[in-house]
Structure 1
Amino acid sequence: MPIELLGMIATTPGSESLAVTGPVVDPDYVREFSRAHEEAGFDRVLIGYSASSPDGFAVASAALHATERLKVLIAHRPGFVAPTVVARKLATLDHLTGGGRVAIHHITGGSEADQRRDGDFSEKADRYRRTGEFIEVLRRTLTSADPFDYEGDFYRVEGAFSAVKPATDAGIPIFFGGLSDGAVEVGAAGADVYMLFGEPLADVAEHIRTIRAAAAKAGRTVEFSLSTRPIVAPTEEEAWAKAARIYAEAEARIAARDSGDTLSFARPLQREQNSVSADRLQEHAKRGDVHDERLWLGITRLTGPSGNSTAPVGTPEQVAEALLKYYDLGVTRFLIRGFDPLDDVREWGEELIPALRAGAQARDEARAAESEERVA
């Protein structure tokens, strides 16, 4: 099947390895960054979430109105806004931006400190159960033709109904991520797309088997997304040299931060994070900086539990082939973001993205031909 390519936009320039410049919200940068993704051939962009970052719905609206085809994936943390309200916000935005361009990503919260910044002192296990209820009420609000009642441990509504429904039959795709206890059950039961970090191939294969089995018990199927940070260059040697430069720049930025400098509000260097997915990446990094030939975890080891930080390194063709090995496992969506965010997006549009699409198509055609031969 055709792959979906996702990027990630921010509201101001900056990354682990680049100094932050400009205001926290730079409207011109948001428009430029969004258009760059569309021109490079991306299908969708993720708008991240933290307790100190700009509002994701507003950023999504700006990105949608700056582009013609680009879709958005709005990260949302359940527990602060009622699911019925979020459903109406999503459906309204869907209508106002052409239809079929809006999706939501549920993040239950891996950082206790960040949860508490917005007043949430609940236990992580409870947060996952709350996310499960949130998704259930959200989906019913988006699809129910009649008012409905719901009573759970965290949400209770009477006569809930939304006059505005998604603008297309595709609805509002529901994404979810997390590997903590309880996460798989929640995601398998409620998500359309389960988001995974870029772990080594064998580990991703095991996650897919586990989640598929849980979804099957619930009478459902789930698709999968994988998040990485590709580093590409014309030659493999140049790509590894580029990785070394990124490491050195990030190391210098961390030293500057520890001496009193600060990074962007959106920086992923949140050492207090309590995430099973991030902890797993740290365990992989302890075993070695490189896995599966070119999956580099140097930044993972350097930055600590920082989430999406693994990087396939090589030429565009080599990186595309490395990512397509996950496609062979069942991953149909790839979330890629760069260490030099805007320039990386433009560079990827020249060779990496076309190579990914061509490689996926070639695999699909080969499988179709094999199926026809077996039938014959």
Structure 2
Amino acid sequence: MTQSKNEAIKFAYWVPNVSGGLVVSNIEQRTDWSYDYNVRLAQAAEKSGFEYALTQIRFTAGYNAENQHESVSFSHGILAKTEKLKVIAAILPGPWKPALAAKQLATIDHLTNGRIAINVVSGWFRGEFDAIGEEWPEHDQRYARSEEFITALKGVWTQDHYSFDGKFYQFKDYTLSPKPVQKPHIEIFQGGSSRAARDMASRVSDWYFTNGNTPAELKKQIDDIREKAKANNHEVKVGVNAFVIARDTEEEAKRVLQEIIDGANVEAVKAFGDATREAGASTSEGEGNWAKSTFEDLVQYNDGFRTNLIGTPQQIAERIVELKSVGVDLVLSGFLHFIEEVEYFGEKVLPLVRELEAAQANQITAKSA
């Protein structure tokens, strides 16, 4: 599954099924968390060249997200109104058990002709687990549970009379029927930047999402995970988070970024920072996803500003191709005003990316001739 140099980089967008948009800021956002808005957004994204959409999972309010639609049912709702888009439903082991998730997603896979995927979220927000009475294992054990969750899903989706005796989950002679349309199974995504997250991805996940970062820092992560995956006889693709501010001029794009930061909900950003530092401190290496994030970084809660897709269409296209050169297979995009900016991206940025990719492919062909 490792991307070839000639394979086009893919694009996904964050589904705003949670209120507050994708920045923890009081700036005006012409983005809405309603179903009607999200249907229009999905249809616009599909027409604009986006292949994936990622729904979010939250159970409680906090950090500017006061309302949240449930991810799996919302994903199905979007799929019902689109034709090509694949929607990645975020799921938390704990609230979901693998037997339910396997059956739920297999059914949606049949109803949508193979357009559902899953993002297994190990959890960073202890408050919501406490609020709904779910167990909160320590950091590395949450990833151990997620690995069992994924292992069980794969087994149920691909085998008859499946048995599994894990620490967290058990199956005995279980056969799921019908199995998913997608073969060998529904695509499995997973996030995280800790050692435990990368090690898990190198063993069981199809895709690994990482927070925004510079190409040099991303290359370190990607090389590490792919080396470990190769040792495990496994392949994993990589997606990076990016908040995109594409404008006709660089000055305008930078001004929008500054307006977002100037309008930051300071209390919410600091509370989010505290929660992420607490989660990071519990990792085996003593730091997690947001260990090096500044206050400004945390205004976009997956470090999307750090990927620096902020500027003119040409600048952004060149930076996307640079991300591809260090091993990125997919850009997971957030926007301030989703529908109009997704359309602008599809019209102005994506064609430039494809032109640059084609030029690189021609250069490679010429050198090898």
TM-score by length of 1: 0.83
How many matched pairs? Answer: 341
User: Structure 2 residue aligned with 1:31, among 27, 39, 63?
Assistant: 39
User: How many Å apart are 1:44 and its aligned residue?
Assistant: 1.0
Q: 1:193 pairs with 207, 222, 227, which one?
A: 207
**SS, match of residue 195 in structure 1:** strand
Q: Does residue 7 in structure 1 map to residue 21 in structure 2?
A: no
- The 8 Å contact of residues 197 and 277 in structure 1, kept in 2 or not, is answered as no
Change (3 A) 1:269 1:41: farther
Deviation of residue 51 (structure 1)? 2.0
Alignment partner, residue 272 of structure 1: 275
Taking the TM superposition and a 5 Å limit, the aligned residue runs for 1:284-363 are 285=294, 299-300=296-297, 303=299, 306-310=301-305, 311-363=308-360
> 2: CA distance between counterparts of 1:215 and 1:240?
38
Cα 1:65–1:167, aligned 2, differ >3 Å: closer, same or farther? same
Rounded Cα–Cα distance in structure 1 between residues aligned with 2:30 and 2:359: 42
Q: 1:19/1:233 Cα in 2 relative to 1: closer, same or farther (>3 Å)?
A: closer
Shift of 1:92: 0.9
Q: 1:49-97 deviations in whole A, cap 9, x for unaligned? A: 1123321111101111111111101111112222122111111101101
Q: State the identity %.
A: 26
Residue pair 1:187, 1:194 contacting (<8 A) in 2 also: yes
CA distance in structure 1 between the partners assigned to 2:273 and 2:120 by the alignment? 19
Task: State the Cα distance separating 1:279 from its structure 2 match.
Answer: 2.1
Structure 2 residue aligned with 1:93: 108
Query: RMSD of the TM alignment (CA)?
Result: 2.5
Q: 1:219 to 1:116 in 2, by over 3 A?
A: same
Give the letter aligned to residue 275 of structure 2.
Answer: E
**Between 150-159 and 195-204, the greater mean CA deviation after superposition:** 195-204
Contact 1:13/1:29 (8 A) holds in 2: no
**1:149 and 1:157 in contact (8 A); partners too:** yes
- Structure 2 residue 142 is the aligned partner of structure 1 residue 127: yes
Match of 2:88, SS?
Answer: strand
**SS of 2:40's equivalent?**
helix
Contact 1:281–1:300 (CA<8 Å) still a contact in 2? no
Q: Report how far residue 246 of structure 1 moved.
A: 2.2
- 1:66 aligned counterpart, secondary structure: coil
How far apart are residue 242 of structure 1 and its match?
A: 2.2
- Does 2:111 match 1:108? no
Deviations 1:338-373 (A, max 9, x none): 1222322122122112222332333234334433x2
Following TM superposition, by how much is the alpha carbon of 1:138 offset from its aligned partner in structure 2, in angstroms?
0.4
Q: What is the letter of the counterpart of residue 27 of structure 1?
A: Y
Partner of 2:4: none
> Structure 1 pair 115/355, CA: closer, same or farther in 2 (3 Å)?
farther
SS in 2 for 1:80: coil
Distance 1:13 1:272, change over 3 A: closer
Separation in 2, partners of 1:327, 1:221 = 17
**How far off its partner does 1:269 sit?**
4.7
Q: Which amino acid aligns with 2:250?
A: E
Partner of 1:48: 56
Q: Which amino acid aligns with 1:88?
A: K
Partners in 2 of 1:369 and 1:342 — Cα distance? Answer: 40
Point out where structure 1 has 5 or more consecutive residues left out of the alignment. 286-297
SS in 2 for 1:331: coil
**Where does residue 182 of structure 1 map in the other structure?**
196
TM-superposition CA deviations, 1:95-118 (whole Å, max 9, x none) = 101x23111111111222233233
Distance in 2, matches of 1:370 and 1:172, equals 38
Residue type of the partner of 2:56? Answer: G
Name segments (4+ residues, structure 1) moved above 6 Å: 20-23
Q: Is the 8 A contact 2:164 2:172 kept in 1?
A: yes
2:175 paired with 1:161: yes
Partner of 2:309, secondary structure, is strand
Scaled by the length of structure 2, the TM-score of the pair is: 0.85
The separation in 1 between residues aligned to 2:200 and 2:88, in whole angstroms, is: 19
Partner residue in 2 for 1:239: 253
Unaligned runs of 5+ in 2: 1-6, 61-67, 281-286
Indicate the residue corresponding to 1:207 in structure 2: 221
Is the contact made by 1:12 and 1:21 (CA closer than 8 Å) also made in structure 2? no
